[in-house]
Structure 1
């Protein structure tokens, strides 16, 4: 019987373990690994910008955590439609081609803009993922590497040839991604994927080749690497040189291998019993765990394990983690100590799953609480997501209280910030972020807090956002009752067909055919437009404790957004624009233009009632096919100069001077007074039908952007934070028959 065994999955990695010294000889440096990390999280309060970290090996691993296509795709699918940008940061030697292709396709499918940054290395399948970026930037000390997919198999000659064909198929599939990004021909890319060589690119060379768009010169300064990391980087550089790369690439690869966030490089020699934590430098998320070498396999090479052994190890690991999982999100536990216990239990293969459960119960019985969401000075430990939220919510509520004590109470988490000004909050946020503000000037504290990864920018941005929203929602928009709201999916022009513009239904006799109908020419077109301004929060704002910059000014901006909507809607009434038929909105041919008469005539028993004339004209309106459509006036819209008359007309049950004659017309109308009509005419007045019965004026927002929205980022032109106020809005008169105008006298 012939059997075929894939000794390793199809991969696009450097296969470092096969060329570096084995783990057995302890006098040789062990390879540090990039901590497997796949994290998708928001980086702006609005939720419009997310960051996706892809660190470590790509594809499923028996021994350690890794970045899998399933985990990436699931989290991307969970994002809602408001996400506009995904910042993808990559530091990976590569891995499974299948997972790489799936991650690439998942990113390409998402409608958000993808901005990829190669933090350290993006090799083989990791470089494939990088090609999903709408923009790709690389620091000067980063490396991109492209090469052919590889794998191993044993069998007869036919099976080996078939496997070679499989590798060629993967090459062809990968090539499309590089072609789309670089603009090179498929033949050129296949040359890189099928020549058996490793092709290295610096940032500048990747840009020149079309694989990247920019060289990022503002690389973040990292902590000094330890000796083991340096030994690994040197071995990697030596291997790159041995495979034909120049000394220049070797040195750049050395630098890139050392480039990683502080918490992203772990070593087998790292202590697992660290008990103290620097309160000024709280740890990042617990490092992934590295299982021990199997006792029967002292070299640590898991390729010698049987499938049954691998399954047993994986089952043990999953059972252990299942026991710990319910407690890993609890804020009342020291998560660092819990992670250490988990790592120790996984490493000690002599412990049974039952014994580990006993150790976990003992830990829970003696565990001490971790840090709270209070300001700096709280107990040491790792901050949880809930604690960060409590801290931010408290600070935001405290600032809102200072701005408007009557509307916002200083209670709950906000009470922790009693007596704090903006400078105090900036200092506290820096301390929570692990930066010691001692010895800094007020300006230095303000600048660092505004441009750091602390909570401070998010707090200020949220206060500005809430103030904007309050200003927007608190400003009266008198057009809402007689207008209809819509939501548009994009910025493209849409078409609205008038009620009655659709063909009438005709009787279909038994066995007869349905007649073809056509839409009339009464279709109106319009689109939403984008409006916006930027509010800058500078370090002077913090030093001067300028609450106006956080509350009153954004409040005024929000009110301005609401006023903009009113400006656009009432400009339709006063501007009398042309409709789709080429005639003005208010036109005799539309049957919606009354004989000029003063509104006060409705109260004069000696004169014809102009409101009765409006009611008659609107009631006699017909559809485009000649059918009556039964329109009734509902709203009486007037400038401030006619407010008194409008109130009398719409509230008096009996017309003075007419004895028992009832005011049967005026009381059916709802008065609306709008100052914007004054600029057009002090005596003209308007009528409108119920927008649910017939179209009048339609106003629209972009889907997911109703009202005013904000986006916060660190300022480049200013030393501080910039808050972009974005408002997307449009309005259009849809059907003249639902509106009426009398020029007045």
Structure 2
């Protein structure tokens, strides 16, 4: 981008191209992508304090298509930042996609899987009834605005511009993690999701209590009297229990007493349970036991996960926009958004993210507040 005028279309040519290229077509058009790369380089140099790049950036903002490039660069930066942030919720919840904002329902067909009945000679085969359990997921819309000012831009105070994609990308990921955490934890500790299995335990996080929790899950039966087989579990803990959890699961040997004797065995727990340290538990849980409460959940990769997070099809990542209400110049042509609004010279960026979650089958879940 040697000069804004030679690399960026202006006037009627730019308006014709902008009108002809939808956002989807712009994302694949080689000419547009080439100019987008040049715009990204210029913006990056300006953000890094290059005064010549800053001058070119301000000149470019007066052309009719650069605001599209500028917004597209920020949007791509937001996507890059969003995708680089590893979501916590994926370690204990499964991902799904829904078509719209209407509730999505899962029908878990029950029945027909129990042990077969003996059938005598010429006797009719016994009939079995079928039932179903229903789970419902609804996604919601979340978002925020970043109000900036034209004066901030004129004064070269671009920290807000430079950090906008990073801040909004982090906000989107944090929203997902917070919503997923709230499915199993509330202000008073573990949610009612765990009540179907006899309520919440009180044992502290120890080898014995963790083993007992796994034994409890393994001794449960489904609606047809079949055993619960879970090959992989997640031990979710607040930061205060990170050391205790890792000491248990990373130990080489486990010591225990049996029939009055001290025994040592290889740490079989390490092959079955994985630690997830969730700092959002300390935000969601306002109870006195927040730092001692621990959760056992089936890994999201198994057939019957306990938690799922949903996203709206076609809108599965955050959407970043800038408010274009600068009006039109008397000589013709729209005023770029980065020149400020018509009313008060404000420059506003907005992010929208659509997500939501729900709990599914609690049969393989366990929680203890660690109070005993």
2:138 is matched with 527
Does structure 2 conserve the Cα–Cα contact (< 8 Å) formed by 1:650 and 1:666?
yes
Equivalent position to 2:56, from 388, 411, 424: 424
Partners of 1:531 and 1:740 in 2: CA distance: 30
1:399 is matched with 43
With over 3 angstroms needed to count, the CA separation of the structure-2 counterparts of 1:515 and 1:540, relative to structure 1, is: farther
- Superposition map of 1:322-341 within 5 A: none
Q: Deviations over 1:25-71 (max 9, x none)?
A: xxxxxxxxxxxx9x97345x5x49x9xxxxxxxxxxxxxxxxxxxxx
2:217 is matched with 618
Residue 546 (structure 1) aligned with residue 172 (structure 2): no
Residue 573 (structure 1) aligned with residue 179 (structure 2): no
2:204 is matched with 598
Aligned-pair CA distance for 1:683: 0.4
2:358 is matched with 732
Question: Unaligned stretches of 5+ in structure 2?
Answer: 1-15, 257-261, 326-340
Partners of 2:263 and 2:31 in 1: CA distance: 73
CA RMSD, Structure 1 to Structure 2 (Å)? 3.6
Partners of 1:514 and 1:549 in 2: CA distance: 71
1:20 is matched with none
1:482 is matched with 92
With over 3 angstroms needed to count, the CA separation of the structure-2 counterparts of 1:595 and 1:628, relative to structure 1, is: same
2:170 is matched with 559
Aligned-pair CA distance for 1:673: 0.8
Partners of 2:162 and 2:76 in 1: CA distance: 8
Partners of 1:722 and 1:533 in 2: CA distance: 10
Partners of 1:547 and 1:41 in 2: CA distance: 32
Question: Unaligned stretches of 5+ in structure 1?
Answer: 1-36, 51-384, 406-416, 434-453, 578-582, 603-608
Does structure 2 conserve the Cα–Cα contact (< 8 Å) formed by 1:633 and 1:687?
no
SS in 2 for 1:551: helix
How many equivalent residue pairs? Answer: 320
Does structure 2 conserve the Cα–Cα contact (< 8 Å) formed by 1:710 and 1:726?
yes
With over 3 angstroms needed to count, the CA separation of the structure-2 counterparts of 1:678 and 1:388, relative to structure 1, is: closer
Residue 646 (structure 1) aligned with residue 256 (structure 2): no
Does structure 2 conserve the Cα–Cα contact (< 8 Å) formed by 1:487 and 1:702?
yes
SS in 2 for 1:616: helix
Does structure 1 conserve the Cα–Cα contact (< 8 Å) formed by 2:39 and 2:70?
no
With over 3 angstroms needed to count, the CA separation of the structure-2 counterparts of 1:535 and 1:644, relative to structure 1, is: same
Partners of 1:513 and 1:712 in 2: CA distance: 67
TM-score of the aligned structures, taking structure 1 as reference length? 0.39
SS in 1 for 2:363: helix
With over 3 angstroms needed to count, the CA separation of the structure-2 counterparts of 1:526 and 1:514, relative to structure 1, is: farther
Name which structure has the greater RCO, CA cutoff 8 Å, separation 6+. 2
- Superposition map of 1:49-64 within 5 A: none
SS in 2 for 1:614: helix
With over 3 angstroms needed to count, the CA separation of the structure-2 counterparts of 1:402 and 1:611, relative to structure 1, is: farther
Partners of 1:493 and 1:724 in 2: CA distance: 26
Partners of 1:538 and 1:392 in 2: CA distance: 24
Aligned-pair CA distance for 1:668: 2.7
Aligned-pair CA distance for 1:721: 5.5
Partners of 1:740 and 1:505 in 2: CA distance: 24
Aligned-pair CA distance for 1:551: 2.0
Does structure 1 conserve the Cα–Cα contact (< 8 Å) formed by 2:78 and 2:169?
yes
Residue 677 (structure 1) aligned with residue 310 (structure 2): no
Q: Deviations over 1:156-201 (max 9, x none)?
A: xxxxxxxxxxxxxxxxxxxxxxxxxxxxxxxxxxxxxxxxxxxxxx
Aligned-pair CA distance for 1:532: 1.3
With over 3 angstroms needed to count, the CA separation of the structure-2 counterparts of 1:707 and 1:504, relative to structure 1, is: same
1:457 is matched with 67
Q: Deviations over 1:303-354 (max 9, x none)?
A: xxxxxxxxxxxxxxxxxxxxxxxxxxxxxxxxxxxxxxxxxxxxxxxxxxxx
Q: Which has the larger radius of gyration?
A: 1
Does structure 1 conserve the Cα–Cα contact (< 8 Å) formed by 2:228 and 2:364?
no
Residue 704 (structure 1) aligned with residue 314 (structure 2): yes
1:663 is matched with 267
With over 3 angstroms needed to count, the CA separation of the structure-2 counterparts of 1:393 and 1:651, relative to structure 1, is: same
Does structure 1 conserve the Cα–Cα contact (< 8 Å) formed by 2:95 and 2:309?
yes
Aligned-pair CA distance for 1:541: 4.3
Partners of 2:358 and 2:170 in 1: CA distance: 22
Q: Deviations over 1:580-633 (max 9, x none)?
A: xxx92112x425x5642111x31xxxxxx1111111122233323332241245
Partners of 2:96 and 2:146 in 1: CA distance: 29
Partners of 1:538 and 1:576 in 2: CA distance: 38
Aligned-pair CA distance for 1:664: 2.4
Partners of 2:146 and 2:166 in 1: CA distance: 11
SS in 2 for 1:420: helix
Residue 691 (structure 1) aligned with residue 300 (structure 2): yes
